[in-house]
Structure 1
Amino acid sequence: MRKLLKKIKNSRKIQTFILTIALIICAGIFWYIRTNPVMPQLTIYFLNDVKLPEKGQKVLVFSPHPDDETIACGGYIIESVQREAEVTIVLVTDGNKRSLKDLRYSEFKTATSVLGVPTNNLIFLNYPDGKLAQQSQAELEKIFQNQIDSYHPDIVLYPHPGDTHQDHATISKIIEKILEQSPNKKIAYKYLVHHHLYPRPKKYAPDLYTLPPISLISFDGGWERLMLSEETENLKQRALKSYKSQLKNPLLKNLLESSIRKNELFAVESLP
């Protein structure tokens, strides 16, 4: 009987010890999240590699404004073209907030040519910059659907729903609805441009990795990395320099230059 009681007592001690360790770990995680809203640099080694297209496959990129395609997906586009995939970019708005439509379009054509995308593969929808939420959402859905149906992409790249720019969030919501209803399964990746915690630091830091804000990590759509070679990183930087009108603005300059990192980041869309 004494042996049994001693065994129970020891078992309770072990349970208490395990519970204490678990509480300490939970407290540590909570403290880290409160003090470090972005995943640490070492996290990059635990992310899966994003899937790149094979030769002959089609990649469709939805870019809200001239420059978003290069900021978020420049490396992916370069790698896709080099693998002899076909890349088409749908530019949704005219980037005309400061009456610079023609200049922004010219910069867009120059940047995308550096990325390797021919002018014939650029589609201009000409919606007013900053006003997508005010447009007919049914009309936008129909137009986006037509682009997807006519192009038959194998891979679709579009804005992340957590993006704080309203144009980006509007496009994301509509594309996700289309993809969820599509009978043809596609690979879909979401990219982030505007977020107060992304990227960190928001300045030129080409030797750092881009990592997601902890608040945007979910179990139904994990983040994946695209590691960039020095050649690809330099080519992306060259493309970004095409956006001279944006680089004149200190805030926009920081945004563009902070996208020059050792990797790009994409969230996998979990489709039915």
Structure 2
Amino acid sequence: MTNKLEIENYIKTHSIKQKLLSSFKNLLFHYMQIKLKKYTLQMIKLYSILTIFILVASCSQKTQQPCDDSFIRGNNYVLASDFENAKKEFEKSIKADSKNANAFYGLGYTYSVEGIYEKAIENYTKAIELDSKFKLAVIGRGSIYYIVGDYENSEKDFIEVTELMPNFSMGYLYLGNIKSQKADFESALKYYDQALIYDKKNSTTYFSKAICQSYLNRPLDAIHLLKKSIEINPKYGMAYFYKATFEHQLNMGDEACKDFKMAEKLGITTQTNISEFCK
């Protein structure tokens, strides 16, 4: 009888643990998608600011696209975060030349920063219609499609980006994120590997790859990748948090406790985890 009760209790306990682990993984998945989107938006802003400098520089190089005074002033307003006046100047530039792809790109970027995504897509699309190889516009539109959850169109744009710019690691990172959003983790891993070929120092790529490995029930591989992510960026609090989480799953208590504490030190709220696991 005792053995039977022990077996029944074990089955119940194991079942509860499995349900809790499953629930945790679901929460982890949704939380990671939010984090990836936030990171993506940050990268869009950083990349787009660099793009503004590139466009201004290209004006002095006399590219095929016109760069009138209104366009230059629009860029200056963008850099000063004066988006209303930036839009007015880009619109003036378009009024002077309706085929000015640069000005449509400037409008697309300005609307994207303001969070007016429908108008951003509309203007990026116009820039692409005027110049089918306008790489920066394709990147901008694909990024916005990703943010609004239109993964099919985002994927199309970033496939085109990787064809136009085969060495552009961010294109593969986006494609990996899209596959991750669709829970196609094996395909995501392939894209992350391609991204790492061209940029071996991107801590976020290692982090994203680690999360995919965890969903494929490869926690040791995930931990190894998170170590690499932390090696590149020692202040990556979320990497410490998930490394600790996977270590806890593997009963690596001391390591998990240490990493939870480090994540807390770096601004990630883990006090509940520390209280529970650091005993």
TM-score scaled by structure 1? 0.28
Q: Which has the higher strand share?
A: 1
Q: Which has the higher helix share?
A: 2
TM-score scaled by structure 2? 0.28
